[in-house]
Structure 1
């Protein structure tokens, strides 16, 4: 996740909600709070190098979160699967989920669900068809 998402989760004033290790991508964050140092790891640098390090720790399937972080991974064509859950509230501002891309990335919808009769979730996988 990106720094903004990390700081948002910290602001929820709840116990840390993630059981799996969390990697926070940031060029400005200098340290992780002491109570999270065995759960959260600060990473920075070239995305392919960051992924190589994370994969070497045995973490091969990653959940990417945070608008700017998702955009960075998409720009490098490093996302194979997308699950989009739409909350039926229009904020009127915020970070674009996808942002501009240098090339078109094609995905195929493999499933959809509706939760609590109003929250759609779409599951896509990367399509490499021309």
Structure 2
């Protein structure tokens, strides 16, 4: 049984992954949402991201729990992030710390090698990397966290692709702050199966 690729992503109501200049200040991740993320991500077998997302995470999470102001869910996620095996797809990165493996290209073969490894499913993050995985139809589940904000501009999560991707809605959840989880699974077999 292979590991599944699960996209975890926050988006605005109008489909933006980030605002102008990579702004993420509009994310409404309170303790309830963060605790949910921790529970879901701790069960994963690894984090898969692109260079920019990995460098953003590596600039904050390794020591986030050392800040006296860090609350419970933030401090907890710092430990989850440090311990989790990480794969970063990058053509330019030469070295990465924190239990990280660098892979140069997104191909069905490189992703098949990842999913054949031991452990739980793999958490995919980053809009550009998700676009590459989606173009090759390599995402098994989509966990889209829609935040109650219209940004109007920024980086769209999904840009046009050459094929449709049939999905099945498996779950929804509304958090008290208005963030809504839309959980979809692929509607057909994966090219990796």
Please classify the TM superposition score into its range, dividing by the shorter chain length: 0.7 to 0.9
In structure 1, runs of 5+ residues without a counterpart are none
- Counterpart position of 1:96: 156
Say which structure, 1 or 2, has more relative contact order (CA 8 Å, 6+ apart): 2
SS in 2 for 1:116: coil
TM norm structure 2: 0.58
TM norm structure 1: 0.82
Distance in 1 between residues matched to 2:61 and 2:183, nearest whole Å: 30
Indicate whether 1:5 and 2:50 are aligned: no
Over residues 76-121 of structure 1, what are the superposed CA-to-partner deviations in whole Å (9 max), with x where a residue is unaligned?
0011110100122344443221211110111111110011241100
- Counterpart position of 2:130: 70
Over residues 28-71 of structure 1, what are the superposed CA-to-partner deviations in whole Å (9 max), with x where a residue is unaligned?
111113xx2xx111111242222233234325621110000001
In structure 2, runs of 5+ residues without a counterpart are 1-48, 65-77, 189-193
Distance in 2 between residues matched to 1:107 and 1:55, nearest whole Å: 20
Higher helix share: 2
The runs of 4+ residues in structure 1 deviating greater than 3 Å are: 89-94
SS in 2 for 1:86: strand
The size of the alignment, in residue pairs, is: 125
Distance in 2 between residues matched to 1:48 and 1:97, nearest whole Å: 21
SS in 1 for 2:55: helix
- Counterpart position of 1:28: 92
Aligned with 1:52 (options 86, 89, 112): 112
Distance in 2 between residues matched to 1:127 and 1:57, nearest whole Å: 24
